[in-house]
């Protein structure tokens, strides 16, 4: 392929994962190009939240647009009397933040520029290895060809190249949200609500249907973000249902929407299987199933895991100039999904399977118990910073402290739960 520029790595995609891994690889001194079908500086549509401690540990607190210390959830049944214990909040005693998405994107774009990352326009379509397996050859929809020692697919949850096994229906986290102004504050001043599971605004029949919760925050200056969310379900809860429930919830508390600044329609997969870790294309982000199966968060994980992946790939490029694409991809996959993270992935998915079967009453009791665990345990679970033994300890403690309704739901194995437990012992 004469005339085609040769690079160490070609990264596909223009979302958080692509920018994060491209900047990390370039920071290791590799020659990197980024390929996306849109302007890589175009604003991202999604909002990204993160725990304060996570962003502090990464040294990126300056990239937050909002930060709350008054963080709570509601796991009581709710009632029309505000003084009723059923309305009592559970304090989280931890900061939560919302990224300034423009600043986060610029942070990575600046790092890409410093590392000399080339920005290319095009839609990746086909991939092959050259005859010796040394080079990856990528064709775009408009017929252009690119050649690199390694291709990294960061094209999101439905990746263009990365393959993963089909293990049945995939559960989606669905949410409908409004950024706007309201006739009365939907949450307290300065408050961030992670989960409000109160359901006294729903009929008995509705309370038998899959539970949803409110995720909400005070954005300041009279603006609020309120979002009705379904943790995970296959097929996902429809937006219509979420919107109806959100408006009912607000009306029940005497709150009307007065001005809609932005509507958010959120849907992403929560329990994607791990990709095939032997394929000659490396994945990153949604493409590599990096969404936390218990919380839906990913940005913290991108930032924490990119350096090890970039170091592993760059180390091999330098140590073995003849290494082919499959070898480089393998080094990347091994760094991205080491044994302990694969075990944790199985454990989280096992937990999510259980939660998806829980009734509203069981879910409320489960989360009330979960957030009564020592702070370090629930935080380590949610931020994916705990070790496998620490996670198992937290889960056993939860079982011991939970009411019988939850314990019964946790006992017995149904559906894909036995397979997930087997993967905990022997990860794929
Ligand atoms: C509304 C909403 C809110 C969310 N909130 C959070 C949150 O608070 N915290 C969190 O951690 N996660 C959150 N998520 C999940 C998170 O958005 C996604 O997991 C994340 O955007 C995935 O990042 P990604 O870079 O892997 O993929 P994406 O952001 O989906 O980016 C994929 C990129 O690949 C490009 N692409 C697609 N096809 C091709 C192709 N053929 N060739 C080249 N490029 C291609 C696309 O144009 C795009 O630029 C949210 C998701 C939604 C929808």
For atom 5 of ligand 1, the residue with the nearest CA is 48
Cα-Cα-Cα-Cα dihedral sign, residues 359, 49, 237, 357:
negative
Domain count, the chain: 3
Query: Is position 311 within any domain?
Result: yes
Residues 6+ apart with CB under 8 A from 358: 211, 366, 406, 409
Residues with CB under 6 A from ligand 1: 12-18, 35-38, 46-49, 123-124, 154-156, 160, 264, 266, 268, 285-287, 291, 297-299
d(CA 252, ligand 1 centre) in Å: 34
Tokens 């259980």 sit at which residue? Answer: 354
Same domain, 151 and 230: no
Q: How far apart are CA 291 and CA 17, in angstroms?
A: 11
* Torsion angle of the four alpha carbons 384, 388, 391, 396, in this order, in degrees rounded to the nearest 10: 160
Query: Is position 410 within any domain?
Result: yes
- The answer to whether residue 301 scores a pLDDT higher than 90 is yes
Residue 425's pLDDT is what?
79
Same domain, 38 and 67: no
Same domain, 276 and 160: yes
Residue 206's domain is classified under what CATH number? 3.90.660
Residue 39's pLDDT is what?
93
d(CA 91, ligand 1 centre) in Å: 31
Residue 2's pLDDT is what?
56
d(CA 41, ligand 1 centre) in Å: 14
Please give the average per-residue pLDDT across 379-383, as a whole number: 92
End residue of a domain, out of 209, 235, 269: 269
Q: How many CB atoms lie within 10 A of CB 128?
A: 12
Q: Which of 37, 39, 142, 156 most suits a substitution to test ligand 1, by most atoms within 8 Å of the C-beta?
A: 156
For atom 31 of ligand 1, the residue with the nearest CA is 15
d(CA 158, ligand 1 centre) in Å: 10
Query: Is position 234 within any domain?
Result: yes
Same domain, 84 and 200: yes
* Beta bridge pairs of residue 227: 177, 215
Q: Convert the pLDDT of each residue in 197-222 to its tens digit.
A: 999 999 999 999 999 999 999 999 99
d(CA 87, ligand 1 centre) in Å: 35
Residue 377's pLDDT is what?
93
Q: How many CB atoms lie within 10 A of CB 108?
A: 22
Q: How far apart are CA 290 and CA 284, in angstroms?
A: 7
For atom 44 of ligand 1, the residue with the nearest CA is 13
Residues 340, 391: contact at Cβ < 8 Å? Answer: no
Same domain, 105 and 18: yes
For atom 12 of ligand 1, the residue with the nearest CA is 297
Please give the average per-residue pLDDT across 350-362, as a whole number: 92
Q: Which of 22, 268, 304 most suits a substitution to test ligand 1, by most atoms within 8 Å of the C-beta?
A: 268
What is the share, in percent, of the chain residues with pLDDT greater than 90? 88
Q: How far apart are CA 170 and CA 273, in angstroms?
A: 9
Same domain, 247 and 285: no
Residue 413's pLDDT is what?
79
* Torsion angle of the four alpha carbons 15, 21, 27, 32, in this order, in degrees rounded to the nearest 10: -80
* Torsion angle of the four alpha carbons 154, 160, 166, 170, in this order, in degrees rounded to the nearest 10: 60
End residue of a domain, out of 337, 356, 379: 337
CA distances from 86 to 17, 192, 222 (A): 41, 19, 27
Same domain, 192 and 225: yes
Q: What HEC string does the chain produce?
A: CCCCCEEEEEEECCCHHHHHHHHHHHHCCCCEEEEECCCCCCCCCCCCEEEHHHHHHCCCHHHEEEEECEEEEECCCCCCCCCCHHHCEEECCCCEEEECHHHHHHHHHHHHHHCCCEEEECCEEEEEECCCCCCEEEEECCCCEEEEEEEEECCCCCCCCCCCCCCCCCCEEEEEEEEEEECCCCCCCCEEEEEECCCCCCCCCHHHCCCCEEEEEEEECCEEEEEEEEEEECCCCCHHHHHHHHHHHHHHCCCCEEEEEEEEEEEEECCCCCCCCCCCCEECHHHHCCCCCCCCCCHHHHHHHHHHHHHHHHHHHHHCCCCCHHHHHHHHHHHHCCHHHHHHHHHHHHHHHHHHHCCHHHHHHHHHHHCCCCHHHHHHHHCCCCCHHHHHHHHHHHHHHCCHHHHHHHCCCCCCHHHHHHHHHCCC
d(CA 297, ligand 1 centre) in Å: 11
Longest CA pairwise span in the chain (Å): 75
Cα-Cα-Cα-Cα dihedral sign, residues 344, 345, 350, 355:
positive
Same domain, 263 and 149: no
Q: How far apart are CA 289 and CA 350, in angstroms?
A: 15
Same domain, 323 and 391: no
d(CA 286, ligand 1 centre) in Å: 7
Query: Is position 1 within any domain?
Result: no
Print the domain residue range for 54. 49-99+169-269
- The answer to whether residue 385 scores a pLDDT higher than 70 is yes
Same domain, 230 and 176: yes
Q: How far apart are CA 243 and CA 227, in angstroms?
A: 9
d(CA 85, ligand 1 centre) in Å: 40
Query: Is position 380 within any domain?
Result: yes
End residue of a domain, out of 288, 321, 337: 337
According to DSSP, the β-strands at 124-129 and 282-283 are unpaired
Token output for 192: 């961030």
Same domain, 67 and 14: no
| Residue from 391, 78, 81 nearest 249 by CA | 78
Same domain, 155 and 60: no
Residues 376, 391: contact at Cβ < 8 Å? Answer: no
Q: Convert the pLDDT of each residue in 221-255 to its tens digit.
A: 999 999 999 999 999 999 999 999 999 999 999 99
Residue 210's pLDDT is what?
93
What is the share, in percent, of the chain residues with pLDDT greater than 70? 99
Q: Convert the pLDDT of each residue in 393-425 to its tens digit.
A: 999 999 999 999 999 988 877 888 888 878 877
Residue 35's domain is classified under what CATH number? 3.50.50.60
Q: Which of 11, 36, 119 most suits a substitution to test ligand 1, by most atoms within 8 Å of the C-beta?
A: 36
On average, the pLDDT of the chain sits at 94
d(CA 18, ligand 1 centre) in Å: 9
Q: Convert the pLDDT of each residue in 104-154 to its tens digit.
A: 999 999 999 999 999 999 999 999 999 998 999 999 999 999 999 999 999
Residue 1's pLDDT is what?
56
The torsion angles phi and psi of 330, rounded to 5 degrees, stand at -60, -40
* Beta bridge pairs of residue 70: 191
């Amino acid at each position: 392929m004469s005339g085609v520029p040769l690079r160490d790595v070609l990264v596909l995609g223009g979302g958080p994962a692509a920018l994060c891994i491209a900047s990390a690889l370039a920071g290791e001194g590799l020659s990197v190009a980024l390929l996306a079908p849109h302007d890589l500086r175009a604003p991202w549509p999604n909002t990204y939240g993160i725990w304060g401690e996570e962003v502090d540990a990464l040294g990126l607190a300056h990239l937050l647009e909002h930060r709350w210390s008054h963080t709570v959830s509601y796991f009581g049944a709710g009632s029309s009397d505000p003084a009723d214990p059923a309305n009592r909040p559970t304090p989280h005693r931890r900061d939560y933040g919302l990224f300034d998405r423009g600043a986060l994107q610029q942070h990575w774009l600046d790092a890409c520029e410093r590392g000399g990352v080339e920005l290319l326009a095009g839609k990746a379509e086909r991939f092959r290895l050259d005859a010796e397996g040394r080079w990856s050859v990528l064709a775009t929809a408009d017929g252009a060809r690119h050649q690199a020692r390694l291709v990294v697919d960061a094209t999101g949850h439905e990746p263009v190249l990365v393959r993963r096994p089909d293990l049945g229906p995939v559960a989606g986290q669905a949410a409908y949200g409004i950024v706007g102004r309201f006739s009365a504050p939907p949450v307290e001043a300065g408050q961030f609500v992670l989960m409000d599971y109160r359901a006294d605004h729903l009929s008995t029949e509705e309370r038998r249907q899959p539970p949803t919760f409110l995720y909400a925050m005070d954005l300041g200056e009279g603006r609020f973000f309120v979002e009705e969310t379904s943790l995970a379900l296959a097929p996902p809860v429809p937006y219509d249902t979420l919107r109806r429930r959100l408006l009912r919830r607000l009306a029940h508390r005497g709150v009307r929407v007065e001005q809609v600044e932005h509507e958010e329609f959120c849907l992403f997969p929560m329990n994607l299987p791990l990709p095939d870790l032997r394929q000659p294309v490396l994945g990153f982000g949604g493409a590599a199933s990096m969404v936390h199966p218990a919380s839906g968060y990913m940005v913290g994980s991108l930032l924490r895991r990119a350096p090890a992946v970039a170091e592993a790939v760059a180390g091999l490029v330098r140590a073995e100039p003849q290494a082919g694409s499959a070898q480089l991809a393998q080094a990347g996959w091994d760094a991205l999904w080491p044994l302990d993270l694969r075990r944790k992935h199985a454990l989280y998915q096992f937990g999510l399977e259980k939660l998806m079967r829980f009734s509203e009453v069981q879910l409320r009791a489960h989360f009330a118990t979960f957030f009564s665990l020592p702070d370090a345990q629930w935080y380590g679970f949610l931020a994916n910073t705990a070790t496998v033994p620490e996670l198992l300890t937290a889960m056993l403690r939860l079982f011991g402290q939970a009411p019988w309704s939850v314990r019964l739901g946790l006992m017995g194995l149904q559906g894909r739960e036995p397979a997930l437990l087997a993967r905990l012992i022997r990860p794929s």
